[in-house]
Chains A and B, each alone.
Chain A
């Protein structure tokens, strides 16, 4: 019975926090609950043997998404009172509960009726991993078997950044994102923002580098580096760059452009878009990873910084 409890306890805690996040009266409390929920999901991912996913969940699912929501809920606090009056009546809520319960029950039945033995692509993934020169099968999927997904994912992030920027008021277009933070230069935040980034950057680069053979990868590493940058910005030690700066824009597109160029070269050298010629897989994967990592860190950091709010002057 013991191993079951090992899974059941985190599973129930996750469910309880999911319910709390949904029914909590105060939106700010709900968003804080969501961060704890994201961290507990990380435990679930480890127990499901998905350490790569656990890292992504901790960094992006709980971390960045949580920060985004907490910040927004603090800003939107004045609207809370008006929103309570709009709460749907009891019959609507009851109906919603019945319908959602039905969807959950149908899914649960599907989970119990999953085929046994389960279908799996693991043998194919392992069978072709040799020539790629990477040891982590998930990295092989992300950068070889399904490299198109990863390319589109990087481009989705870029499009979201363009979307965020396009929400700037006209007067701030081309200016600096977010407010100028002014923390006490001798305070604890400024202290942490000086001490933590060197360590964080090393951790980020390490997670990026081991991604070839062990759990980790560019997205997780880039998120940690972006978080360090946000910390420095929020402590007022450095200001966000104006979005009209050419260097910023070149760095943002450099990663996807290299990825697309290597993809197009594959048409000539290996017969398909994003195919690698024999023996060149590992070096090309490394080039893509190295080009994408700074672009991703910058994109994630600027998405978090938000729409431009100030003119270019500091």
Chain B
């Protein structure tokens, strides 16, 4: 077994782990996280395939490697947009549930604490 096969197999497992997380975790943020795990699995699989295309002294096929760089940046963009939508939803409703059962909205919450404010 070479590096490409080993990481290819781990990549397949990561796609499975991410898919499970997407279904099993109810929090939207966990779903975004799981989506990123699936994404990194797909990237790693593609990277293993790029490694197999090594030729002429290059460590891998440069075309998929370049596409991977583009892919990682686009995955970050999508994640940033999804997280911002989620934070806005929380700001508006005080909840982040995706459940379709119409639970009564909770009383307007206190302004959410901002733990990332340093030292205040």
Residues of B contacting A64 with CB < 8 Å? 76, 80
Q: How many residues of A contact B (CB 8 A)?
A: 109
Residues of B contacting A31 with CB < 8 Å? 29, 33
B24 and A88 form a contact (CB under 8 A): yes
A74 and B55 form a contact (CB under 8 A): no
Residues of B contacting A272 with CB < 8 Å? none
Residues of B contacting A140 with CB < 8 Å? 62
Residues of B contacting A41 with CB < 8 Å? 40, 44
A60 and B97 form a contact (CB under 8 A): no
Residues of B contacting A51 with CB < 8 Å? 59
B37, B45, B53: the one within 8 Å of A122 (CB): B53
Interfacial residues of chain A within 23-52, with CB under 8 A of chain B in the complex: 23, 27, 30-31, 34, 37-38, 41, 44-45, 47-52
Q: A50-B60, A123-B55 in contact; A61/B72 too (CB < 8 A)? A: yes
A interface footprint on B55-82 (CB within 8 Å = 1, 0 otherwise): 1101111110111111011111111110
B1 and A69 form a contact (CB under 8 A): no
B70 and A153 form a contact (CB under 8 A): yes
Nearest to A127 among chain B residues (CB) is B56
Please measure, in the bound complex, the distance between the C-alpha atom of A114 and the C-alpha atom of B33, giving whole angstroms.
Answer: 29
Instruction: Tell me the minimal C-beta distance from B6 to chain A in angstroms.
Output: 5
Q: Which of A155-163, A243-251, A253-261, A287-295 interfaces with chain B?
A: A155-163
Knowing that A56-B68, A141-B63 are A-B contacts, what are 20 other residue pairs whose CB atoms are under 8 Å apart, sorted by A's residue number?
A: A7-B6, A15-B17, A18-B40, A30-B33, A34-B36, A41-B44, A47-B7, A50-B51, A50-B60, A69-B83, A78-B113, A79-B96, A83-B97, A114-B49, A125-B58, A138-B65, A145-B63, A149-B70, A153-B70, A164-B84
A71 and B60 form a contact (CB under 8 A): no
Confirm or deny: B102 has a beta carbon within 8 angstroms of a beta carbon on chain A.
Answer: no
B15 and A104 form a contact (CB under 8 A): yes
B51, B73, B99, B117: the one within 8 Å of A48 (CB): B51
For the complex of A and B, the 6 pairs showing the least CB-CB separation, nearest first, are A49-B59, A104-B16, A120-B53, A107-B12, A22-B21, A141-B66
A53 and B68 form a contact (CB under 8 A): yes
Residues of A contacting B61 with CB < 8 Å? 118, 120-122, 125
Please measure, in the bound complex, the distance between the C-alpha atom of A28 and the C-alpha atom of B61, giving whole angstroms.
Answer: 37
B10 and A160 form a contact (CB under 8 A): no
Confirm or deny: A269 has a beta carbon within 8 angstroms of a beta carbon on chain B.
Answer: no
Q: A27-B30, A96-B24 in contact; A153/B83 too (CB < 8 A)? A: no
Please measure, in the bound complex, the distance between the C-alpha atom of A235 and the C-alpha atom of B117, giving whole angstroms.
Answer: 10
B5, B91, B117: the one within 8 Å of A111 (CB): B5
